[in-house]
A = this chain, B = another copy of it.
């Protein structure tokens, strides 16, 4: 930290202890400038607790980072990504201006760097995705309470995964419906087929497949809250003869199926488990079976934003396509189609964020402010990450190597209804 300071500045550091207010102010501003440089000098300003503003006066800022005390400033400098999340959640840091716009700008300027020493430590202490660890990690995120998610996800399907906007003017509900149709068409679902779903969330897709495509679905999930909700809805919708929800891990899937589908699970199971997932699919998929995996991904192997991984999604690790192939290649599955829906996820998150912000006042009796602000940041930050291109959304369609029952073009995906 001292290496690029001249003798005068080093003298200032010494004076720091002496309480010379003017020198302390200069040091704070110097730290703030250093922070701006550390995050790639985006067009933003930093407003300190004493309302002094730091930033390039030549550039019109898109927003200001309000930092409410010196500890927050110093820890931000040590690890901007992680501590921005921490301090924004607690209210020690705030954004004056448009939060998603600010985050998008910062994402575009952030230097592409690899793990810091701190992240290495965090890595070591993180629990692995063992069966019990997986249950704990998922509980952390998905068992917060269904009422929380109901306030900002699509209803009644409750899909906490990327929607599909063939027309960007679609509502969230329309786009989530279009997503389910898109997946079912890719899989060429036919009435009477047996489908297994790994990681079924609140069961929206499982019930949709049974209702709209007449298939029989067995859907697995380790979240107790979600399975309870999914079963209840299936009863209400009189689908229990065609949809079975099982509170169990994907590793325990058995039986034989025409179709395997998994939407939004792969990014949570850990890359070390991909080969095992492939073995599970290989065990249960029929000779002319098809499968689809829908997952958050990366352009290259990399870690998730450290704060999101620690506070929001413990154990999550979105794969690059080469990593994802570990599911398929050992078993010679044939990849038929990969579609990247990155900008659809940015739009999905925009809808979620709007609804979330409209409901924030409702959460106050059940959750504390740190939780509520943290979730707002997470949704806005994820939107920015998909907009800036640091995160991807892959849908991968695959089959057995010798399955020649394939359409001659993908036009069947685009023939009827708008998609």
Contact = CB atoms under 8 A, between A and B. Distances in A.
Interface of A: 108, 112, 165-168, 299-301, 320-322, 325-326, 328-330, 332-340, 342-344, 387-390, 392, 401-404, 406, 408-411, 413-414, 419
A403 B299 CA distance: 13
A395 to B, nearest CB: 10
Nearest to A389: B401
A301 B413 CA distance: 30
A326 B335 contact: no
Contact of A330 (B300, B338, B402): B300
A177 to B, nearest CB: 14
Contacts of A408: 165-168, 343-344
Contact of A320 (B320, B325, B388): B325
B329 A340 contact: no
Given A108-B402, A337-B339, A410-B414, A329 B299 contact: yes
27 contacts: A108-B402, A112-B332, A165-B408, A299-B334, A299-B335, A299-B401, A300-B329, A321-B321, A321-B322, A321-B325, A321-B328, A321-B335, A322-B329, A325-B325, A334-B392, A336-B340, A337-B338, A337-B340, A343-B408, A344-B408, A389-B402, A389-B404, A390-B401, A409-B419, A410-B410, A411-B414, A411-B419
A112 B331 CA distance: 11
B299 A328 contact: yes
Contacts of A392: 334-335
B343 A404 contact: yes
Nearest to A403: B389
A391 to B, nearest CB: 10
A401 B413 CA distance: 26
Contacts of A390: 401
Nearest to A346: B404
B328 A325 contact: no
Contact of A329 (B108, B320, B410): B320
Contact of A332 (B299, B328, B342, B413): B299
Contacts of A168: 408
Question: Which residue among A167, A408, A413 has the maximum number of chain B CB atoms within 10 Å of its CB?
Answer: A408
Nearest to A414: B411
A275 to B, nearest CB: 12
A334 B340 CA distance: 8
A74 B387 CA distance: 63
Nearest to A300: B329
Nearest to A107: B402
A410 B322 contact: no
A8 to B, nearest CB: 40
Ranked nearest first, the 5 interchain pairs of A and B with the lowest CB-CB distance are: A338-B338, A322-B325, A166-B409, A411-B414, A389-B401
B339 A410 contact: yes
Given A321-B328, A325-B325, 6 more contacts: A299-B333, A321-B329, A322-B329, A337-B338, A390-B401, A410-B413
B334 A389 contact: yes
A338 B297 CA distance: 15
Contacts of A328: 299, 321
Nearest to A404: B343
Contacts of A388: 402
A168 to B, nearest CB: 5
Question: Which residue among A168, A300, A390 has the maximum number of chain B CB atoms within 10 Å of its CB?
Answer: A300
Contacts of A339: 336-337, 410
A308 B139 CA distance: 54
